[in-house]
């Protein structure tokens, strides 16, 4: 079957190819015969993937809880970038392409998680990105906006990492979560670098004191009982490993921006 599919796949866009391949993977896992499915449009293929990979019967509550937690964070990011990208005069022209790319991914993450959860998806909260006035100029002052963007991305990385163990029973969903996790890390690195920071996190410090909770514990240099500072130095040891956050810690951070 691979042989007959190869020429068909030549020349189609990479995204569709990946989605199709994922779908075939998913179908194989679900014990179905993939040969009967023609290559369809990407959204249709995605829908099929979601149905076949994830919706064979109801998801265990623990997994639904993780996915709804992730969906809440993605709602927050998606709405934040939609507002930022729409605010005239906020993002300098040269940086707009970056924030549009990030926003595009967050929108896709929301759609993907909603498709997986179906009727079990939580509703979008009402957000207040000023956090009750603490960031009053978030959509008029680029420095505030980009600092919050960095905080949301670095928090997102830690949030997904913290939940990986809760998805270990479901390989397809774990893999999907990891594939979101690394995209958030790409975003975080870019936003940090645009702000004049390193793309990686050194120690637990931050230039934005209001975001301190996002970086608590990042300075850890002991991994699996091994003192990693002994290999190069303490900074490299801190930077080389991103740390997880518990769901409670993440919700305390995100909760500042959630009204209801």
Partner 1 sequence: MPDLVPPMNSELGFLDKLSRATSRRTFLQWAGVTVGVAAIGCGKDDPTGHTPPGNDFDLGSGDVGVLNYAYALEQLEAAFYIKVIAEKYNGMTPAEETVLTDIRDHEVTHRDFLKAALGSNAIGTLTFDFASVTFSSRASVLGTAKTFEDLGVSAYNGAGPLIVDANYLLLAGKIVSVEARHASAIRDMLNPGSMDFAGDDVVAVSTGLDQANMTSTVLAAAGGFINETIIASSLPTS
Tell me which residues touch partner 1 (CB under 8 A): 14-16, 18-19, 42-43, 46, 94-95, 97-98, 100-102, 104-109, 112, 157, 160-161, 164-165, 168, 171-172, 174-176, 178-190, 193, 198-200, 223-224, 226, 228, 231-233, 235-237, 239-244
Q: How far is the CB of 167 from partner 1 (least distance, A)?
A: 9
Give the whole-angstrom CA distance, residue 260 versus residue 48: 33
Strands 222-223, 226-227: pairing kind? antiparallel
Name which of 63 and 135 has its Cβ closer to partner 1.
63
Name which of 141 and 171 has its Cβ closer to partner 1.
171
CA 40 distance to own-chain centroid: 26
Q: How far is the CB of 79 from partner 1 (least distance, A)?
A: 15
Name which of 39 and 131 has its Cβ closer to partner 1.
39
Is the separation of the CB atoms in 125 and 119 below 8 Å?
A: no
C-alpha distance from residue 52 to each of 34, 46, 102, 171, 253 (Å):
11, 10, 28, 13, 34
Beta-carbon-side half-sphere exposure of residue 110 (alpha carbons within 13 Å): 20
Q: How far is the CB of 259 from partner 1 (least distance, A)?
A: 26
Q: How far is the CB of 46 from partner 1 (least distance, A)?
A: 5
Mapped onto helix, strand or coil, the DSSP state of residue 121 is coil
Name which of 98 and 122 has its Cβ closer to partner 1.
98
């Amino acid at each position: 079957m691979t042989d007959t599919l190869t020429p068909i796949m030549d020349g189609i866009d990479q995204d569709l190819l990946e989605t199709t391949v994922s779908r075939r993977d998913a179908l194989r896992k679900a014990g179905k015969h993939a040969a009967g499915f023609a290559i369809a449009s990407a959204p249709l293929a995605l829908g099929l993937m979601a149905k076949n990979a994830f919706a064979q019967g109801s998801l265990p509550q623990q997994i639904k809880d993780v996915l709804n937690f992730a969906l809440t964070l993605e709602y927050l990011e998606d709405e934040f970038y939609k507002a930022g990208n729409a605010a005239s005069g906020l993002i300098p022209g040269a940086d707009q392409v970056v924030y549009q790319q990030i926003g595009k991914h967050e929108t896709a993450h929301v759609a993907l998680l909603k498709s997986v959860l179906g009727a079990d998806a939580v509703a979008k909260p009402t957000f207040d990105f000023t956090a009750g006035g603490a960031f009053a100029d978030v959509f008029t002052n680029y420095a505030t906006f980009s600092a919050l963007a960095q905080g949301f991305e670095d928090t997102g990385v830690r949030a997904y990492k913290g939940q990986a163990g809760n998805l270990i029973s479901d390989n397809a969903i774990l893999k999907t979560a990891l594939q979101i996790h690394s995209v958030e890390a790409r975003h975080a690195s870019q936003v940090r670098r645009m702000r004049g920071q390193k793309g990686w996190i050194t120690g637990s410090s931050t230039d934005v004191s209001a975001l301190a909770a996002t970086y608590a514990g990042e300075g850890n240099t002991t991994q699996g009982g091994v003192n990693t500072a002994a290999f190069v130095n303490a900074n490299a040891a801190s930077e080389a490993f991103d740390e997880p956050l518990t769901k409670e810690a993440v919700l305390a951070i995100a909760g500042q921006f959630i009204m209801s």
